[in-house]
Amino acid sequence: MKKLNLAIIGQGRSGKDIHGRYYRSADNQYYCVKYVVDADEFRRKVSEEIYPGCKTFENYHELYAFDDIDLVVNSTYSEQHYPITKDLLLHGKNVLVEKPFARSRYECDELIRISKEQGVTLAVFQQTFLAPFYQFVYKTIRSGKLGDVKQINIRYNGFSRRWDWQTLQKKCAGSTYNTGPHPIGMALGFLDFDKEAKVVYSKLDTALTSGDADDYAKILITAPNKPLVDVEISAIDAYSDYNIKIQGTKGTLKATPNAYEMTYIQNGENPERPVIEDFLKDEKGNPVYCTEKLVKHVESEQFEGTAFDIGTAKLYEQLYYKLTEDREMTVTPEMAAAVISVIETVHASNPLPLKF
């Protein structure tokens, strides 16, 4: 198997510790890191140590002098995703861009258009769609095991404070742009990316952040004849014990990236009870509460791997075969663009004051 030559722009936490961890792992049978771009000299020196033989540059424009690059990974600051990706595409490069895809749906659609006109591959790094816990929950919903699903809750919560660039609106940051592509993407996925899906309620606010971008978000999304999906991203929730909770007519499932627990009933084990219009009473005639002991089943299991190992490896594997054999990928730019549509809508409905 011939490895593809890869260039990565940006060696921050994502570029070095998410993408880079994959490049240096046994899972990577597909790519050779040949070029690294970062404005910081220390990071360039570290790159030369961890990717022996690679060439490092301060400016990504220097990559255009080389015609042996099969893929460029754009892992820069969020506000740079759109302009740098656009420039790379116009120079005929295949690009994998970090989330968020861009700031607006217009920018996403323009990048998709340019990639098609240039005949190059454009991919977005939203690997949560390939994470074991998301795929298990998605398949469980479709199996009917939980009955008719009425509500889905997605929580990406914690109790913490940030004061870095990810707290600034001018950097295309905040909870919805930074964390939001994961839960919002799952929400749209559970709704099958229904074109009639819409935001029916949203609220953005600041809580513990030192910046001016949101660190609290509540977003309700639904579509005709589909469940209501309640997305929450909060920096002030110290007691959230799940990432996904599914409520169906036959049961409930809750899951984290590491494990799930499910309680459900099965057909035929709890015969339908006829409605009694009068009050209920015991043998002596005393009124009693309407209650029964349902026959229920409980199961739980650990997941092997998360979005940051299994999900990343699967996305890069799929991208390899997209580049070499033009196979379809699970995560498409159109899916990532739909996520940005939701984020853009929520921000338009909840403008926060600019302070920086």
Instruction: Look at residue 1 in the predicted model and tell me its pLDDT.
Output: 83
Our CA dihedral for 223, 228, 233, 237, rounded to 10 degrees, sits at 170
**What is the overall mean pLDDT for the chain?**
97
Instruction: Look at residue 155 in the predicted model and tell me its pLDDT.
Output: 98
Bridge partners of 93, per DSSP, are none
Domain spanning 4-125+309-333: which superfamily?
NAD(P)-binding Rossmann-like Domain (3.40.50.720)
- Is the pLDDT reported for residue 203 higher than 90? yes
Decide if 353 contacts 212 (C-beta within 8 A): yes
Mean pLDDT of 95-120: 98
What global pTM score does this model have?
0.95
Domain spanning 130-308+339-349: which superfamily?
Dihydrodipicolinate Reductase; domain 2 (3.30.360.10)
Domain with CATH 3.40.50.720 in the chain: 4-125+309-333
Edge to edge, what strands does the sheet with 71-74 contain? 55-57, 31-37, 4-9, 71-74, 95-98, 122-125
Per-residue DSSP letter, 106: H
Cα 330 from Cα 250, distance rounded (Å)? 29
Instruction: Look at residue 193 in the predicted model and tell me its pLDDT.
Output: 98
Domain with CATH 3.30.360.10 in the chain: 130-308+339-349
Question: 300-344 pLDDT, tens per residue?
Answer: 999 999 999 999 999 999 999 999 999 999 999 999 999 999 999
